Structure 1
Amino acid sequence: MRKFGCLIFGIFALAAVLIGGNFVYGWTAAGPSERDVTVVIPKGASLTKAAKQLEEADLLKSADAFLFRAKILGGGTSIKPGEYLIPAGASNRDILNIIQGGKVRQRLVTITEGMPSIMVYERLMAIEELSGDIDVPAEGSVMPESYSFQKGESRAKVLGRMQDAMTKAIDELWAKRSPNTVVKTPQEAIILAAIVEKETQIAAERPIVAGVYSNRLRQNMMLQADPTIIYPITKGKPLGRRILKSEIQSVNDYNTYAMIGLPKGPIANPSKASIEAVLNPAKTNALYFVADGKGGHIFADTLAEHNANVEKWYAIRKQRGEM
């Protein structure tokens, strides 16, 4: 009888081990999905609702089994809303760790330095994962940078972060401005910085270009910046051809070949570096610059020097077959 009792106990013990082992195995074993799957856990979703969503996405064999195991083995941390990338074969434990950890999938939209607002608008509107409409943002109100966003997020919210970043940057830089800066307001700084941004892509040249334009403003000389001619024509998009003589002579609020002083507003969204260059311009006597044929510019203090540099640039262009 005693042996029989031991046998029964042994059978129950073995069954318990098997059941327990299966319980744990079902928690740690590879899941049914054979591919990576993106899921969006909505704000306010319970673990029960999330489990059903995961089952419908074929990431779980059983939502009920997942919930049962999660309550015993998963701890008490709440799940976090967001878009998650669940890798192929993720176990129940892996999935719970992902949605509890809040490490959401990173999606980025990049606003390049000097991008005009019409192109910022087009870029945001082209992202299918964003929702809602926006207007074209005010020129110069967006800080060029890469911004993360989540699937389903509103375009207005993403644009708001871009504009907040510009406001923060200009406030910080304005407080540290040099007494040598020629601009009188943060808005004037953005206007001039946008011109500097469009005139050179070389970081080391920005303070010098800013210095040239500062000198011209102080001497009541026309800025004569080609990008300001293009802006009223294309709203800052590439012109795709040479500027016409009639366009150079056109009188409007932006053409700095037909006016003294700054244009009406920014012609692009300038980078932090260009704003900083305008607020801390290089000390230079230069009043002119022209392309050097190597991607940069050559600067001159006098018109005679500048004209000689222009002739060299024309010779380079003729040699390249551009004239």
Structure 2
Amino acid sequence: MWKALASNALTFLVVLLFLAGGVILWGQQSYQSAGPLEAPICVRVASGSNMSRVSSQLEQDGAISNGSLFRIGADYSGKSDQLKAGAFLVPDGASMEEIVDILTRGGASTCGTEVVYRIGVTRSQILVRELDPATSRFVETANFNPAAEDTPAEFTTAAERGDTRHRIAMAEGVTSWQVVESLKSVGVLTGEVADLPAEGSLAPDSYEVNRGDTRQSVIDRMQDAQASILASAWANRVEGLPLETPEEALILASIIEKETGVAEERRTVGSVFINRLNRGMRLQTDPTVIYGITKGQGTLGRGLRQSELRGETPWNTYVIDALPPTPIANPGRASIEAALDPASTNFVFFVADGTGGHAFAETLAEHNRNVAKWRAIEAERSNN
């Protein structure tokens, strides 16, 4: 009798172990297999949240089929206490294991709301954008000029949300004064800029910032980036340039930046100024005259007068014989590289051609014909 009981108990234990092993295997496969999510979603994790709340949210969103299994898997992998606050893009078909990794690996939010502070040449803008998980593209929900328009509710809501990403987008050709003034309207930043950065020393680019960052720290990042770009371009410069220092290259790059908005023209425009410097010709470029008037503090907002073209300022290249003493804006990488690796041409003149680009010429006679064509285009436009 005792032998029978022992045999039955052993059999029962084996069955239990077999079933337990099957459950574990099933749980492991379910945790690692593709999930039920049919389309990408943005999962927001509030500060102070936990796996229990997140698993309930994921079940409700249809991203996982079993919240208990999700929590067990996160606990077993040692990630239960590594949950990160933010907004995270979860792709369709993501397994529970993949979702746990997405929500615990850290880093910046990968979806949700983004506020972009655009620093432009003629004006600054604040954009509020929301990522559409289905297309992975941002949808603009608000766009306004902080200096001239009322603050929309979408911006107020986004600015208060903890998982909103904030980014400063600095355009090529803005001045250091414009950057400092624009940073004052970025409410998530703190502190003041100690001194106005040297003209040309800031790299136009996109900079992600966090709430509480100082404005000076953003300026420092911009200056470090520009110094690195200039050092690399100077090290790779072509031979025979009439530029003695990286600072002179930065000055020329800023002029190229202000003279053309057409990317394909930068190296050709650079060649014109390099040829003029090599021949001892004055650069005769309007943007330098404008900088001598405004000192980079805003835009002129009108055409230049003949008296201003003749007016003596350190930046007026119609009067001075060489480069001005400082850059006239903050040039981008492409303009810096154009100054140090210009196209090989014999051009010494250029004028607008009516398409947004320029007509280039080697001789004054050819240039005068191009100017006449441009004047005709201007006259026709003014009559329409």
Indicate the percent of aligned positions where both proteins have the same amino acid: 41
- Which residue of 2 is the match for residue 177 of structure 1? 237
C-alpha separation in 1, matches of 2:310 and 2:233: 35
TM-score (norm 1): 0.73
SS at match of 2:294: helix
Q: Which moved more, 1:173-182 or 1:134-143?
A: 134-143
C-alpha separation in 1, matches of 2:83 and 2:201: 32
Q: Is contact 1:256-1:262 (8 Å) kept?
A: yes
- Which residue of 2 is the match for residue 7 of structure 1? none
Q: Which amino acid aligns with 1:203?
A: A
Closer, same or farther: CA 97–283 of 1 in aligned 2, 3 Å: closer
Of 187, 211, 222, the residue aligned with 2:282 is 222
- Which residue of 2 is the match for residue 100 of structure 1? 104
Q: Is contact 2:45-2:84 (8 Å) kept?
A: no
Q: Is contact 2:168-2:209 (8 Å) kept?
A: no
Asked if 1:131 corresponds to 2:189, the answer is yes
Q: Is contact 1:195-1:267 (8 Å) kept?
A: yes
Q: Which runs of 5+ in 1 are unaligned?
A: 3-26, 28-34, 42-51
Closer, same or farther: CA 123–248 of 1 in aligned 2, 3 Å: same
SS at match of 1:262: coil
Closer, same or farther: CA 93–171 of 1 in aligned 2, 3 Å: same
- Which residue of 2 is the match for residue 151 of structure 1? 210
Deviation string, structure 1 residues 50-103 (Cα, Å, up to 9, x no partner): xx4669xx8698xxxx9999655x51587387754599xxxx999864452114
| Two-structure CA RMSD over aligned residues (Å) | 4.4
Asked if 1:276 corresponds to 2:280, the answer is no
Q: Is contact 2:175-2:328 (8 Å) kept?
A: yes
Q: Is contact 1:181-1:278 (8 Å) kept?
A: no
Of 207, 217, 221, the residue aligned with 2:267 is 207
Q: Is contact 1:193-1:278 (8 Å) kept?
A: yes
- Which residue of 2 is the match for residue 198 of structure 1? 258
Q: Is contact 1:111-1:144 (8 Å) kept?
A: yes
C-alpha separation in 1, matches of 2:371 and 2:279: 22
Q: CA deviation at 1:196?
A: 0.5
Q: CA deviation at 1:255?
A: 1.4
C-alpha separation in 2, matches of 1:125 and 1:307: 46
1:222-301 to structure 2, matched below 5 A, reads 222-231=282-291, 232-233=293-294, 235=296, 237-301=298-362
Q: Is contact 2:176-2:198 (8 Å) kept?
A: yes
- Which residue of 1 is the match for residue 131 of structure 2? none
Higher relative contact order (CA 8 A, sep 6+): 1
Q: Which amino acid aligns with 1:131?
A: L
Aligned residue pair count = 306
C-alpha separation in 2, matches of 1:301 and 1:157: 46
Q: Is contact 2:360-2:367 (8 Å) kept?
A: yes
Deviation string, structure 1 residues 183-216 (Cα, Å, up to 9, x no partner): 1111111100110111112222211211111121
- Which residue of 1 is the match for residue 228 of structure 2? 168
- Which residue of 2 is the match for residue 24 of structure 1? none
C-alpha separation in 2, matches of 1:272 and 1:80: 39
Of 109, 116, 137, the residue aligned with 2:168 is 109
C-alpha separation in 1, matches of 2:377 and 2:272: 24
Closer, same or farther: CA 291–113 of 1 in aligned 2, 3 Å: same
Deviation string, structure 1 residues 148-173 (Cα, Å, up to 9, x no partner): x2431513333322222211111111
Q: Which runs of 5+ in 2 are unaligned?
A: 6-30, 32-40, 57-69, 91-95, 111-164
Asked if 1:320 corresponds to 2:320, the answer is no
Q: Is contact 1:197-1:274 (8 Å) kept?
A: yes
SS at match of 1:180: coil
C-alpha separation in 1, matches of 2:220 and 2:49: 31
C-alpha separation in 2, matches of 1:94 and 1:281: 49
SS at match of 1:168: helix
Asked if 1:121 corresponds to 2:176, the answer is no
C-alpha separation in 2, matches of 1:82 and 1:303: 65
Closer, same or farther: CA 288–150 of 1 in aligned 2, 3 Å: closer
Q: Which moved more, 1:168-177 or 1:240-249?
A: 240-249
